[in-house]
Structures are given as C-alpha cells and as structure tokens.
Amino acid sequence: MPTISEDRWNTVIRWVDKIAKPLVIVSVVMYLTEGELSLRNDWDNSYESPSYFLWSERVIAVLFTIEIVVRWWRRNPWFYGAPNTSYPFNVWGGIDLLCVMPFWIGFFVPASMLGIIRTFRIMRLLKFFRYSRNLQLTALKFYRAYHNLKGIVFSVGIVWLFFAVVCLNLEYPHQPEQFGSLLDGAWFTIVTVTTVGYGDVSPTGIWGKVFVSLMLVPIISTMGMAFAAFANACDSVQGLEDDPNIDPIEEWRKERERMRKRRSANQQYHMSE
C-alpha cells in the first residue's frame, strides 16, 4: 500500500488548522447571534430559528468531524505508516470531540433539550489551545496547581461540611423553612464565607450568630491556602513564558510524569505505628 509522505501530511494538517480557526469564530458568533434573537423572538431551539442558523451549524459540525477523521487517519498506525499516538484519546482529541459531539447528540434528544445542547458550542473556543502557546502555558498553571489543591480542597470540604451541619442544627429550631435540609445549611455556609451574602437567609438565634462569627476565620484561612497554592503554581510557570525554547506540551508531559510519581508514592505510603 502506498504511503503518504510526512511533508504532505503536514501540509494537509496546516490547511486543516487554517480552516478550523475561522470556523470556530464563525460558529460562536452565529450561536451568540442566534441566542440573542431567540430571547427576543421566543425561539426554543434551532428548528424555530431561521434556517441559515441551522444549516451553518450543520456545515461547520460536519467540517469539524472531517477534521477529526483527518487527524486520526494521520495518527493511525495501521494506515500509510503513520506514527502511533493516542489521538483522539488525548487532550486535543477530547477537545475536538467536545466540539462535535453535542451536534450529533442533538439528533437523539428531545427538541426541548436542543437549547441546552447548543450552548456547548461555546466550548469550541477551547480549540484555540492547540494554536496558542500562551493559552497552553496558562493551562499548565492550573495543571501544576492541581496536585497541591487536591489536599487543600479536601480539607476545605471537611471544614465546610462541619460548619454546614452545625449551622443547620443551631438554626433549624428558629428557622425550619430556611434551614430545613443539609443543602440549605451548605448553601448558607458557602454564601456566607465567600462574602457573596445574598441576604436570603441569616442566623437569628444567639448561638447561631456566635458560631457564624467564629466559623469565618478557619474557613477563610483555608480558602487563602488554596489561593496561595494556585499563586505558587502561576509563579513557577511565569518564568517559562519568556523562554522561547520552552515547549508547553513537553512541560505538560514532565508534569504528568511528576504527578504519576507522586501518586505512586502516595499509594506506597504506610503511616508508621
């Protein structure tokens, strides 16, 4: 079977990239325009809007599907001697699939759900991560922060749950309608410690007021630890942005390997007696 040269494949992929980028912009602009007009004209889904919205989405979705086939064919080791990679089961393949799956799922869901399904078109903007070094480094900041945040988020969750349960028990006798379930207690705790303060519910009992005053200190402190962990990850990546020789994808691979080693160390850890 004849093979396609690497240069020819690279040319095909470059053309795919040139076509994909403007299609993302057109797709999102069309969605936002259709969404705005839908609110003004009470259109529940694309079948009720002008047909050019629906057909433009169909054409774009089909082109994005062809893009996946081309990239997969390029990386399929059983055809044309292509190199064996994990596409479409890696990050880029996941983003590409996310761009087209809502369109194809729309054929199998009730028309009443199409309005929700089409909101996923916004996620097509994630395709720009393939073309932007800065966006890839930004994502690396979150990826590096993930390891440190896991333990902190778990700790915050424990503290949050404890205070939610205590608030529920303290305020239920005074406000059974506002504090009638654990979800109500959790909602009150989240709104209070994040300083959002919708004002829909507040403690009325003396012990509830005292406890809420005291709970702010430890919860806000744990949230500060989470922000600090993310800030440290950002600082560690910031120095990479000015080095033109740094490959963000390679840094992703290194970080993934470090996380694998950390996970292995955690699994092998046994606390001494």
The SS3 of residue 242 is: coil
Distances from the Cα of 179 to the Cαs of 33, 117, 197, 219, in angstroms?
Answer: 42, 34, 16, 20
Summarised one tens digit per residue, pLDDT across range 215-234 is 777 777 777 777 787 787 77
Is the confidence at residue 175, as pLDDT, over 80? yes
Q: Which residue has the higher pLDDT, 174 or 77?
A: 174
Retrieve residue 136's tokens.
Answer: 């890839």
pLDDT band at 62 (very low <50, low <70, confident <90, very high): very high
Retrieve residue 233's tokens.
Answer: 């990850």
Q: Which residue has the higher pLDDT, 259 or 207?
A: 207
pLDDT band at 1 (very low <50, low <70, confident <90, very high): very low
Evaluate if pTM is beyond 0.85.
no
pLDDT for 33: 92
pLDDT for 118: 82
Distances from the Cα of 3 to the Cαs of 81, 82, 193, in angstroms?
Answer: 6, 9, 62
Summarised one tens digit per residue, pLDDT across range 244-258 is 777 777 877 787 787
Is the confidence at residue 109, as pLDDT, over 80? yes
Q: Which domains does the chain have, with CATH numbers?
A: 6-131 (1.20.120), 134-268 (1.10.287.70)
Cα separation, 101 vs 103, in Å, equals 5
Summarised one tens digit per residue, pLDDT across range 180-226 is 888 888 888 888 877 777 777 788 888 888 888 887 777 777 777 77
- Ranges 17-26, 146-155, 198-207: which has the least confidence: 146-155
Cα separation, 245 vs 162, in Å, equals 48
pLDDT for 271: 56
pLDDT band at 26 (very low <50, low <70, confident <90, very high): very high
